[in-house]
Amino acid sequence: PGLLEPTSCLIRVSKTAPTLGIAIEGGANTRQPLPRIVTIQRGGSAHNCGKLKVGHVILEVNGTGLRGKEHREAARIIAEAFKLKEKDYIDFLVTEFN
């Protein structure tokens, strides 16, 4: 469904560092209903990728939609995608608009 978002963009982040290195805020039942990136830490995989930006709103993680997911659940989905050994990357579908 996220593919229908007109302004969305798929970003593949390779696991090039021991951490992903993003901070997110938001989730269902908060003022920010989808997780938004608020920090990108230097030296993390996201920073090394160079394409994820502060302000990006995350619509999907490896094809799993985050709409309707509360903050902790969304954070868990992202953390598990990073831990998953079978994949050396995470695909984020993001949009710059809320």
Partner 1 sequence: REKRLTLPPSEITLL
By the criterion CB under 8 A, which residues form the site for partner 1? Answer: 19-27, 29-32, 38-39, 41, 71-72, 75, 78-79, 82
* Helix/strand/coil for 27: coil
CB closer to partner 1 out of 5 and 32: 32
Q: How far apart are the C-alpha atoms of 46 and 48, rounded to whole Å?
A: 5
CB closer to partner 1 out of 14 and 39: 39
* Helix/strand/coil for 47: helix
Least distance in angstroms from the C-beta of 18 to partner 1:
12
Contact 63, 84 (CB under 8 A): no
Least distance in angstroms from the C-beta of 84 to partner 1:
14
